[in-house]
């Protein structure tokens, strides 16, 4: 077994960015850069393309990407991934789901996912932390309100039994949750830069206009979201700390 600090993170790739943003590469690259991981620190498995899910051994943790797919479509690859995540969560593997990954993790653990009653949430939004987020390993010490990037139509309507909701926005009551002490889902995109977010707003400008939103106004409202990125980096540090502690216990 490799040294715990050398164990790579598994990134489950569940989809591709909008076509106009693919020149910036895919979600796994964006996540790796935002998380401060070197190329050797991540193993990417494209589950949407049918790649086989690996065994859990040897990974520090798993990060699940966003996707244009819908969890409610129950694609074979998605349901297989959900079963894998349920087993991984129950085995105590550190998990971090982003957007689709957040919803997939909630679904895997018995929660409910569906269309957001408040409609599309898009742009740089204000997150509001619940008081108990102050004791969470990823959110402790962050401001009570801070900006984050978001783009989604579906949401976690009901969290899994035993899960703790950590953050909300004006349009989504479950922007972050923790299940047990090693699995997190975040509806927002901590890996998105302002450039990524503006690209998404531009790609969805027709849909925003149809929904009565001003795309230029949404784009003007995009800003940097350093605290949201901090949550992702904290997950990496926390997972590595758990791996190090486990290896010490086995020495």
Active site residues: 99, 189, 191
From 75, 69, 242, 29, select the one nearest 154 (Cα to Cα): 69
Residue tagged 């409610």 (tokens): 72
Residue pair 191/30 in contact by the 8 Å Cβ criterion = yes
Residue pair 199/224 in contact by the 8 Å Cβ criterion = no
Q: Angle 19-21-26 (CA atoms, 0-180°, nearest 5)?
A: 90
C-alpha to C-alpha distance for 50 and 138, rounded to whole angstroms: 31
Q: With the C-alpha atoms ordered 199, 114, 35, 62, is the resulting torsion angle positive or negative?
A: negative
């Amino acid at each position: 077994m490799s040294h715990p600090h050398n164990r790579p993170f598994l990134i489950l790739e569940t989809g591709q960015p909008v076509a106009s943003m693919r020149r910036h590469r895919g979600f796994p690259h964006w996540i790796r850069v935002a998380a401060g991981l070197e190329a050797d620190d991540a193993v990417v498995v494209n589950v949407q393309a049918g790649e086989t899910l690996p065994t859990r051994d040897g990974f520090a943790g798993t990060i699940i990407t966003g996707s244009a797919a819908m969890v409610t479509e129950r694609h074979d690859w998605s349901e297989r991934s959900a079963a894998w995540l349920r087993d991984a969560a129950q085995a105590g593997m550190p998990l971090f789901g982003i957007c689709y990954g957040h919803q997939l993790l909630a679904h895997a653990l018995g929660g409910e996912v569906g269309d957001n009653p408040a409609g599309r949430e898009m742009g740089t939004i204000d997150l509001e932390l619940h008081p108990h987020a102050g004791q969470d390993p990823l959110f402790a010490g962050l401001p009570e309100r801070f900006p984050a990037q978001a783009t989604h139509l579906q949401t976690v309507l009901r969290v899994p039994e035993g899960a703790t909701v950590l953050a909300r926005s004006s349009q989504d009551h479950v922007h972050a949750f923790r299940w047990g002490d090693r699995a997190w889902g975040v509806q927002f995109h901590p890996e998105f830069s302002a450039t990524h977010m503006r690209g998404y707003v531009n790609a969805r400008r027709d849909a925003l206009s149809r929904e009565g939103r001003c795309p230029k106004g949404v784009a003007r409202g995009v800003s940097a979201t350093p605290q949201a990125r901090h949550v992702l980096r904290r997950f990496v540090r926390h997972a590595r700390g758990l791996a190090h502690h486990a290896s010490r216990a086995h020495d």
